[in-house]
Amino acid sequence: MSKLVLRFAPSPTGLLHVGNLRTALLNALLARRAGGTFILRYDDTDTARSTAEFAAAIARDLEWFGIVPDRVEYQSARLDRYEAAVAALKAAGRLYPAYESEEELTLRRGLQRSRGLPPVYDRAALKLTDADRARLEAEGRRPYWRFKLEPNPAIWEDGVRGPQHVDMTSLSDPVLVRADGTFLYTLTSVVDDLEFGVTDIIRGEDHVTNTGVQIQLFEALGGATPRFAHHNLLTLPSGEGLSKRLGHLSLQSLREEGYEPLAVAAISVLVGTSEAVAPVESLDALAARIDLSHISRAPARFDPAELSALSARTLHQMPYERVAGRLADLGIGGGEAFWLAVRGNVSRLAEAQAWWHVISRSACWGRDPQDAAFLESAAALLPEEPWDAGAYRAWVGALKTVSGRTGHSLFAPLRIALTGQAKGPELAALLPLLGRDRVLARLRGVDG
């Protein structure tokens, strides 16, 4: 089998949201799993709405997940290629000029509907003579160009949806070149997919009809048609569709809220499939769980509450090596022992900072007078370092015997004296991190 070449083709007209991420990751991770190529293609021919800032934000978003494309392309830099394709389509008689205004077309569609006919473009422009065209252009009309569809249905085996069929006679001949000479995505995408040797197009199911048209374009331009897979779309919990324009669930906002990228990736890929939405330990582990045929047909609700829980669970099982750099960036020391002690008690990585301050900064939380004597004996019984799990057990055992306390009345005062908190990581793990001097000082109610 030939090497997989996949692509993600956003238009840089807004911030990516989790639905865009689903498309991006299905492509990036399947390419990665197969040792193929992943292309990031900016569909930026709409110069009025595309910006360099949004393009940079897209690259930054992908990088947050550790996705670095093998190749990056900008459609705005490839206009000569589209020009050449247009010339070829004109030469083949598949592209014809049309002059109707939007108002004229709307009127015509209304008439068709009132007669019970489908509102499909009637190809009136194909009947124009040279003289008609000259007259229209003399009136100041500029032509735009429609692709003449063949009537035979477009048929393909979809990676998600199985056998697909689009009735081309129900579609209007699509405009590929606007009157101002700019190209439409329907054309530019096919030209690029052909030239870059894209083997599989994985995208949202909002493109199913486009696929019918684009299959005819692949054929008209004389290239191999890729395989297609159309995944279901993600929605807000209310069921409302996600909008880039309205800034729904943008990756940037999720990053700012401190969610784990691996959890955002896992939920975006796994929700709305027959796979369980569960923590993964790496992108490769997530890639291993992708099966296009396990994606369901119904839209999938993206629930931020589910993300929150998944993000916490992802941290709870995160190995130290995977988080060491980020802990250092947050000014957190303590190495692996610190991380293993606190990871089960944080739902956002930044929360580890507060625990690091408990460990590393001198503090005193005072003592409840009722516990003063108990804490004094705890200090007196504290063994010499080094402390292992056995030393901790022996210390607690001795305290129990001396004080007669058990359970909450034994542990709560120790925890509050040592950390200032009623809840937190295992004391057995915290003690060696605090060290003997600090533990002694805090048990005695003095700064340490």
Place of tokens 């200090």: 379
Q: What is the DSSP string of 287-305?
A: HHT--GGGB-SS-EE--HH
- The SS3 of residue 203 is strand
Neighbouring-strand partners of residue 8: 40
Of the candidates 8, 18, 13, the residue with the CA atom closest to the CA atom of residue 265: 18
With respect to ligand GLU, which residue has the nearer C-beta, 203 or 438?
Answer: 203
With respect to ligand GLU, which residue has the nearer C-beta, 78 or 207?
Answer: 207
9, 24, 280, 323: which one binds ligand GLU (CB under 6 A): 9
Q: What is the DSSP string of 42-64?
A: E----TTT--HHHHHHHHHHHHH
Of the candidates 266, 273, 304, the residue with the CA atom closest to the CA atom of residue 287: 266
Residues 375-414 that bind ligand GLU (CB under 6 A): none
211 in contact with ligand GLU (CB under 6 A): no
Specify whether the CB–CB gap between 18 and 242 falls below 8 A: yes
Joined tokens for residue 198? 């894209």
With respect to ligand GLU, which residue has the nearer C-beta, 62 or 341?
Answer: 62
> Smallest distance from the beta carbon of 185 to ligand GLU, in angstroms?
6
37, 188, 189, 235: which one binds ligand GLU (CB under 6 A): 189
With respect to ligand GLU, which residue has the nearer C-beta, 44 or 173?
Answer: 44
22 in contact with ligand GLU (CB under 6 A): no
Joined tokens for residue 237? 């919990």
4, 6, 10, 26: which one binds ligand GLU (CB under 6 A): 10
With respect to ligand GLU, which residue has the nearer C-beta, 39 or 349?
Answer: 39
Window contacting ligand GLU (CB under 6 A); options: 7-15, 46-54, 95-103, 404-412: 7-15
Give the number of residues in contact with ligand GLU, rule: CB under 6 A.
8
Q: Work out the number of other CB atoms within 10 angstroms of the CB of residue 42.
A: 22
Specify whether the CB–CB gap between 440 and 418 falls below 8 A: no
Instruction: Work out the widest C-alpha separation in the chain, in whole angstroms.
Output: 110
- The SS3 of residue 226 is coil
The amino acid occupying position 416 is I
- The SS3 of residue 5 is strand
> Smallest distance from the beta carbon of 345 to ligand GLU, in angstroms?
41
Specify whether the CB–CB gap between 59 and 40 falls below 8 A: yes
Specify whether the CB–CB gap between 395 and 382 falls below 8 A: yes
Of the candidates 26, 51, 145, 41, the residue with the CA atom closest to the CA atom of residue 89: 145
With respect to ligand GLU, which residue has the nearer C-beta, 27 or 419?
Answer: 27
DSSP state of 3: P
Q: Is the peptide bond before 386 cis (omega within 30 degrees of 0)?
A: yes
43 in contact with ligand GLU (CB under 6 A): yes
161, 203, 343, 367: which one binds ligand GLU (CB under 6 A): 203
Of the candidates 227, 228, 271, the residue with the CA atom closest to the CA atom of residue 249: 271
With respect to ligand GLU, which residue has the nearer C-beta, 228 or 355?
Answer: 228
With respect to ligand GLU, which residue has the nearer C-beta, 200 or 371?
Answer: 200
With respect to ligand GLU, which residue has the nearer C-beta, 11 or 419?
Answer: 11
Which alpha helices (DSSP H) does 51-184 contain, by range? 52-64, 79-91, 102-114, 130-138
- Report how far residue 255's alpha carbon sits from residue 399's, in angstroms, rounded to the nearest whole number: 46
With respect to ligand GLU, which residue has the nearer C-beta, 147 or 355?
Answer: 147
With respect to ligand GLU, which residue has the nearer C-beta, 9 or 25?
Answer: 9
Window contacting ligand GLU (CB under 6 A); options: 3-11, 64-72, 103-111, 342-350: 3-11
11, 216, 235, 311: which one binds ligand GLU (CB under 6 A): 11
64, 96, 185, 411: which one binds ligand GLU (CB under 6 A): 185
Q: What is the CA radius of gyration of the chain?
A: 31
Residues that bind ligand GLU (CB under 6 A): 9-11, 43, 185, 189, 203, 207
